[in-house]
Structure 1
Amino acid sequence: MTQTSSVAAHTLDVPGARLYYEVRGSGPLIAMVGAPMNAAAFAPAAELLATDHTVLTMDPRGHMGSVLDDPEQDSTPQLRADDLARILTHLDAGPAVVLGSSGGAVTILALVQANPELVSTAIAHEPPLNQLLDNRDELRVQTADLVTTYASGDTLGAWRKFFANANIQMPELMLEQMFGGDRDPAQVASERFWYLHEIDGTAWWEPDLAALRTTPVRVVAGIGAESANQFCDHTTRALAAQLGLEPTLFPGAHTGFVEDPAAFVVRLREVLG
């Protein structure tokens, strides 16, 4: 990646954690957040946006550079929203556009509910909101089985179940290359935290639909154009229906900003108008 802007790395102490975040560029503030995806995943897209925006990216609590005082503390959307609110307040550059992907999309919905004054536009890109689906009882069993499988030490088995539940086709060879053999210890630690301390609280967070319907914040329900019939396609469409919104398509699938950051940023600029 060719950098077009300088990157300033920072940490911020918050209750129970020290958060790592990065700031690029200058201009109106855009925050790009994931869970469990960290700042590095958004870096290519952030570089492209930094030509005319200040871009905030961060490691969510418990992952990579954002270290918890208690490593066994669970991560919830409310805690992550509070983390983001503290960073936005510290930067004093809002209200901001916030884009969240997957668990990060759940984070920004929680932020809109708790601190709408910090947000101008919230783009929730494929939030996994199990509570909005009719088969939530079946999903609860699947989620518990997924976590149990990982906790038993069967990492590959857990990832097979994860992608099957998400209706994402993942070849066995690719699974073994990504999640088998010798792996980066920091990535393994991040993965462990997500399975054991984050996925359950994120997937089962229930949005306050009344608050989201009446918020002054512009809420966008984003879906990858190549995510048709995947799990997060269904959850995002359910959210959009509950809020009376038309889903907004972005290039790629669940992680389009990683697959083709240039195309994703072009579409993001169109959505922001």
Structure 2
Amino acid sequence: MLLLLPGGAADAGMYAGTTADLAARYTTVSLDPRGLSRSRLHRPLAEGEEHEVSVWSEDARRVLDAVAPEEEAYVLGCSSGAIVALDLLARHPDRLRRVVAHEPPLLDLLPDPAPHRALFAGVRELLRTDGLAAAVARFTEGLGEERPDPAADPPTAGETAGEAEPPPALREMAPRMHANMPLFLEHVLCPFSSSPPNVDALRPVAHKLVPAVGRASREQEALHGPAGRLAATLGIDLAEFPGGHLGAVETPTAFAAHLIEVLEGEGG
């Protein structure tokens, strides 16, 4: 089984473009993270109330127990989902066979986390004072631009670059993702990015872990940098994937193909 943990304000639909290729090899399972999309909270969160990585990690473990209780699972987590995947491996290594953590924005692993801590805190404050559009614009600007990836999926017959039609499930996620953004920026972004990984727990199971980055996000330090530093700390290889921070969405065919190689221990 392959558990796919979405990141940011995305839900299970994030991986819609990859699942057809992945399902040829694995039983794929994903989820809407707690409070996002179809995963409803019993009550609204108050301003300043924060989601906890450990709670989301236990949610993922419960999914594993429900779907494949006797099986060691593969896991892919992207962005904040990668932070959850790392916590899941630290807490329940016996349940996992191999974990790919793609660009976890773990600011404590950066040489100087202060500028990005200030950026994320400023985005949250801007959400409170000026609204969602202003906060998203500041967030996007602060992270910087990706560089084009020459390995991105080529257009199919009749399409031009950049005009490929996304799968219906991905299109259907777009309004849900927009609705999720306030919760993500207010309650997830700052606490998750400030939660250091449990390196002591990860070290003895580092052979199960593959930190990963996107080729197109090398200039985005908060997204690209932490995975490399985690790999160096644990003495393991860093995998480089097609696309950027959203490679699973933007270059799904190439991303899925490389993921299969990495999960089977053949790619890096």
Give the shorter-chain TM-score range. Answer: 0.7 to 0.9
Partner residue in 1 for 2:26: 53
Verify: 1:219 aligned to 2:209, yes or no: yes
Structure 2: tracts of 5 or more residues without a match: 148-173
Partner residue in 2 for 1:204: 194
Partner residue in 1 for 2:257: 266
Following TM superposition, by how much is the alpha carbon of 1:188 offset from its aligned partner in structure 2, in angstroms?
3.8
Matched residue SS, 1:168: coil
Matched residue SS, 2:243: coil
Structure 1: tracts of 5 or more residues without a match: 1-28, 171-183
What CA deviation, in whole Å up to 9, does each residue of 1:46-68 have, x standing for no partner? 12211231100111111101111
Q: Is the 8 A contact 1:119 1:217 kept in 2?
A: no
Matched residue SS, 1:61: coil
Equivalent residue for 1:125, pick from 92, 96, 102:
102
Greater CA deviation, 58-67 or 85-94?
Answer: 85-94
Partner residue in 2 for 1:15: none
What CA deviation, in whole Å up to 9, does each residue of 1:188-216 have, x standing for no partner? 43111101111111110111112111126
Q: Percent identity?
A: 29
Distance change >3 Å, CA 187–CA 258, structure 1 → 2: closer
Scaled by the length of structure 2, what TM-score is found? 0.81
Q: Is the 8 A contact 1:46 1:55 kept in 2?
A: yes
Q: Distance in 1 between matches of 2:75 and 2:188?
A: 21
Following TM superposition, by how much is the alpha carbon of 1:44 offset from its aligned partner in structure 2, in angstroms?
1.8
Partner residue in 2 for 1:13: none
Following TM superposition, by how much is the alpha carbon of 1:82 offset from its aligned partner in structure 2, in angstroms?
0.3
Following TM superposition, by how much is the alpha carbon of 1:140 offset from its aligned partner in structure 2, in angstroms?
2.2
Q: Distance in 2 between matches of 1:30 and 1:186?
A: 24
Number of aligned positions between the proteins: 232
Aligned-residue Cα RMSD (Å) equals 1.8
Verify: 1:162 aligned to 2:162, yes or no: no
Q: Distance in 1 between matches of 2:144 and 2:178?
A: 23
Verify: 1:137 aligned to 2:111, yes or no: no
Amino acid at match of 2:66: H
Q: Is the 8 A contact 2:231 2:237 kept in 1?
A: yes
Partner residue in 1 for 2:4: 32
Q: Which has the higher contact order (CA 8 A, sep 6+)?
A: 2
Q: Within 5 Å, give how 1:14-163 maps onto structure 2.
A: 29-36=1-8, 37-72=10-45, 74-91=50-67, 92=69, 94-163=71-140
Q: Is the 8 A contact 2:206 2:236 kept in 1?
A: no
Q: Distance in 2 between matches of 1:168 and 1:120?
A: 34
Verify: 1:253 aligned to 2:229, yes or no: no
Matched residue SS, 1:52: coil
Equivalent residue for 2:228, pick from 219, 234, 237:
237
Following TM superposition, by how much is the alpha carbon of 1:218 offset from its aligned partner in structure 2, in angstroms?
0.8
Amino acid at match of 1:85: R
Q: Distance in 2 between matches of 1:236 and 1:165?
A: 19
Scaled by the length of structure 1, what TM-score is found? 0.80
Q: Distance in 1 between matches of 2:12 and 2:70?
A: 19
Matched residue SS, 1:59: coil
What CA deviation, in whole Å up to 9, does each residue of 1:89-147 have, x standing for no partner? 11125210000000000000010111111111010000000011122223322221110
Greater CA deviation, 217-226 or 71-80?
Answer: 71-80
Q: Distance in 2 between matches of 1:224 and 1:169?
A: 10
Distance change >3 Å, CA 188–CA 266, structure 1 → 2: closer
Following TM superposition, by how much is the alpha carbon of 1:159 offset from its aligned partner in structure 2, in angstroms?
1.8
Q: Distance in 2 between matches of 1:76 and 1:223?
A: 24
Partner residue in 2 for 1:23: none
Greater CA deviation, 60-69 or 242-251?
Answer: 242-251
Amino acid at match of 1:221: P
Amino acid at match of 1:228: R
Q: Is the 8 A contact 2:241 2:255 kept in 1?
A: yes
